Amino acid sequence: MNLRLAAGAVALILAGGAAAQTGGLIEPSTALQLTPQQRATIYRAVAGADLRTPPPPNLPLTVGAQIPPVTELYALPDTVTAEAPSAKFYRYTVAQNRVVIVDPTNLKVVDVIRP
């Protein structure tokens, strides 16, 4: 009986430690699944946006690539996240007439939306 109690306590401590390491936040997955309609909505909503800071000229435009930490990322508009709720955890920038969707937790490109 005491062994079970001790094992339960250890499991509880380990679970608490894992939550503390992530700050209790749910991290987005790198597998963002958007329908063609959602992709079109995102492109229309942000492609012409006036960015405060343009991205570096050599920004990688391939899924899985890591972008430079100096790249300023922007939250997707509420109109977009209302239609594509899974996108609310991600950020974007616009480079070479493409909307680059980025996972802000690891700065990896998760989608590139073209016109």
d(CA 78, CA 87): 10
Q: Which is nearest to 46 in space by CA: 88, 85, 87, 76?
A: 76
* Residue 94 is assigned to a structural domain of this protein: yes
CB burial class (10 A; 0-12, 13-18, 19+) of residue 81?
Answer: middle
Q: Which domain holds residue 46?
A: 27-113
One-letter identity of residue 18: A
> pTM of the prediction?
0.72
Residues 49-83: tens digit of each pLDDT: 888 998 999 999 999 999 999 999 999 999 999 98
- pLDDT at res. 93: 96
Total tally of structural domains belonging to the chain? 1
Distances (CA, A) of 13 to 6, 19, 36: 11, 10, 44
pLDDT digits (tens, 9 = 90+) for 11-43: 434 344 443 444 444 444 446 889 999 999 999
CATH number at residue 100: 3.10.450
